[in-house]
Amino acid sequence: MTLHELPAPAEIVERTEESASIFTLHLRFVDPARQAAFRSSPGQFNMLGMHGVGEVPISISSDPDETGLIGHTIRAVGRVTHALATLRPGDRVGLRGPYGRGWPLQEAEGGDVVLVTGGLGCAPVVSVIDYIMRRRARFGRLVIIQGVKHAEDLIWRQRYEAWACAPDTQVWLAADVGGPHWAWDVGPVTVLLDHAEFDHSKAHALMCGPEPMMKAVAERLLADGMPPERVWLSMERNMHCAVGHCGHCQLGPLFVCRDGPVFPYPVLAPWLRHRSL
Amino acid sequence: MSIVTTEQGFLARAGLDRLIDALRARDYAVIGPRVRDGAIVYGSIGAAADLPTGVRDAQSPGRYALEPSPLARQFAWANGPQALKPLVFRPRERLWASWRTPTGELHFGAAAEAIEPTAVIGVRACDLAALELQDRHFLREPFPDPAYRARRDALFLVAVHCTHPADTCFCASTGDGPEAESGFDLALHEIDDGFIVAAGSDVGAAVLAGLDLPAADQARMDAARAGVAAAAAAQSRALPSQDLRATLLERLESPHWDAVAERCLSCGNCTAVCPTCFCHAEFDEPASDGIVSEHYRQWDSCFTAGHSYLHGIVIRAETRARYRQWLTHKLAHWHDQYGRSGCVGCGRCISWCPVGIDLTAEVVALAGEGKA
């Protein structure tokens, strides 16, 4: 067994309640050497194991430069994530990773960066925001676009408000269904692209969210003149092994866990065209 | 057709036990074809008498049966449901165990299974080709599978060139048989009075040298060549091309997928008997003591709903999409991922399909539908 395959125990140091069904676990490997050796880049994921229940792939939402804790923002939707939702500080999980290829942040330097996320798709992208904020001078404008189904699904409202105040940063939010305290747009995220100001010819777009949303946004960006190879999507599949063996994440010629989860649009486009692939 | 290596010798039929004894003397557990539950499957071989003499298989779409045979040969049959796959990629395998101490600590331990050196007699060319494909998958960097690696390295493979293909076989069209060309330690041509033995590896050559056999004469060599040539000529099924990538990917929305789905039971038999299918599920099994939990991997199939489950939805909810997934992965995307088709022409998916769906016929029908 190699290091990559055997999980190691990690302790929940902090737990943040983000919404009624979304929570963040801030983890630290019990073994200090393993913790010190852990390096990830924004967009990669870990396998989180609940003892006696199973493992799930969860993207890393914490700042990659902050080696103290590893953050995973999780929505309780399935058997394992409901079990993970019961954990409290001091409890332990199995952790292995990081896996996959993350966002193309070096390629994106020097131009504008447009982040378009839907629902909990914001989780793997928040580490990108932290990354750019720490290296602000290397990037142009930062456009943060987030869509949710219902107004009450929005998490990290205060963070969005803080980011909106940062220099050269735009924050645009939309909910399919608004509410009494919803001060932003109502409608699909594509309407927010009307407001956003960035240079299509030099920008990179990084997206994470439901596939129909990403497809619609990608088509809109391409129609507006963005080169397709600068449009990046983070794909989701139910990885069991995370190392390209189990076959559950196959999409066309790709294994999402190994070849992705982040892909340039031209690689995905032939396969996004077909339903149930 | 050619004998692959220059080192060869003739082993009289009555001398087959010498080969088995030689393998056992090198501390291999010897397994080979045996009749069990009405099929030829791999089992422990104590002597040549354990091999399936006097039977042969009758296979057709949806049918496999053993029948008496007048031939006094040990290998005059085509493959049963098992390939080499279960020997290297176990149907169910423990990957690790975790246990929780009374103070809440969590520990992980890798599964440590003793792996016995194993010699397999009677391996067919299609299954060697399939094993080579499984190697490309499971041993790929940067995550070569250690359990697969250990089992793979423990194998000594004795191929037998195929002389009696089934009605469902089409290895000649995929280029994978009926003669084994590589990937074996020893290879046997079975002829009327015995076997021509050739070596395909250093360790195979050492075993062959130890048998101290006379060289096969020209008449026997000619009989061996004629045997495999006849086996190729006897195959009535074929895939229309060894590279069907474009043909299938241009037809992802063909109405023919619906036509297959009307017959396909989505049972997954084809994936279980396929020697190259590698999909597996991973899951935890907690012991009733609440302390120990074991993490397993187990063969899975793209024909199940769980295979494409993603947080509350099933991506391939319809049989149409599952059959399309299986066929396009096997015959199209395998080229992208592993440089060749994932089909080796063994025909098992045809024989063991309970409704007799014939992959070669479905490909021909799809290609005839035109692009969609």
pTM of the model: 0.94
Model pLDDT, residue A64: 66
- What lies within 8 Å, CB to CB, of B317 at 6+ separation is A276, B305
Please check the confidence at residue A3 and state whether its pLDDT lies above 60: no
Is residue A122 marked as binding? no
- Smallest CA-to-CA distance from B53 within B77, B74, B36, B32 is with B74
Listed by start position, the domains of chain B span 8-234, 244-368
A71-87 pLDDT per residue, tens: 999 999 999 999 999 99
Domain A105-235+262-269 -> CATH class: alpha beta
Task: Output the average pLDDT for chain A.
Answer: 93
Distance CA A22, CA B111 (A): 34
Model confidence band, residue A67 (pLDDT cutoffs 50, 70, 90): low
* Token pair listed for B219: 């008449």
Q: What is the mean pLDDT of residues A203-214?
A: 95
Mutate to test the interface with A, among B94, B98, B248, B266 (most CBs of A within 10 A): B98
ipTM above 0.95, yes or no: no
pLDDT in tens, chain B (372 residues): 444 455 899 999 999 999 999 999 999 999 999 999 999 999 999 999 999 999 999 999 999 999 999 999 999 999 999 999 999 999 999 999 999 999 989 999 987 788 999 999 999 999 999 999 999 999 999 999 999 999 999 999 999 999 999 999 999 999 999 999 999 999 999 999 999 999 999 999 999 999 999 999 999 999 999 999 999 999 999 999 989 999 999 999 999 999 999 999 999 999 999 999 999 999 999 999 989 999 999 999 999 999 999 888 899 999 999 999 999 999 999 999 999 999 999 999 999 999 999 999 999 999 988 777
A245-258 pLDDT per residue, tens: 999 999 999 999 99
Distance CA B60, CA B366 (A): 21
Please check the confidence at residue A129 and state whether its pLDDT lies above 70: yes
Distance CA A216, CA A75 (A): 24
* CATH 1.10.645.10 correct for A8-99: no
CB contact under 8 A, A78 and B311: yes
- Smallest Cβ–Cβ distance between A276 and the set B146, B293, B316 belongs to B316
Same fold, A8-99 and A105-235+262-269: no
A132-187 pLDDT per residue, tens: 999 999 999 999 999 999 988 888 899 999 999 999 999 999 999 988 888 899 99
Give the chain B residue whose CA is nearest to the CA of A247.
B279
Q: What is the mean pLDDT of residues A14-42?
A: 93
Model pLDDT, residue A1: 40
- Smallest CA-to-CA distance from B276 within B169, B77, B137 is with B137
- What lies within 8 Å, CB to CB, of B35 at 6+ separation is B52, B55, B66
- Smallest Cβ–Cβ distance between A4 and the set B143, B300, B325 belongs to B143
CB contact under 8 A, A237 and B310: yes
Distance CA B256, CA A112 (A): 46
Model pLDDT, residue B6: 58
- What lies within 8 Å, CB to CB, of A211 at 6+ separation is A235, A272
Mutate to test the interface with B, among A56, A74, A238 (most CBs of B within 10 A): A238
Residue percentage of chain A with pLDDT more than 70: 98
Collect all residues of chain B within an 8 Å Cβ-Cβ radius of residue A239. Answer: none
Is residue A249 marked as binding? yes
CB contact under 8 A, A253 and B337: yes
Q: How far is B345 from chain A (nearest CA, A)?
A: 22
Collect all residues of chain A within an 8 Å Cβ-Cβ radius of residue B290. Answer: 52
Is residue A241 marked as binding? yes
Is residue A257 marked as binding? yes
- Smallest CA-to-CA distance from A102 within A80, A67, A66, A126 is with A126
Collect all residues of chain A within an 8 Å Cβ-Cβ radius of residue B146. Answer: 1-2, 5
Contact present, A164 and A193 (Cβ < 8 Å): no
Listed by start position, the domains of chain A span 8-99, 105-235+262-269
Mutate to test the interface with A, among B101, B103, B282, B341 (most CBs of A within 10 A): B282
Model pLDDT, residue B1: 40
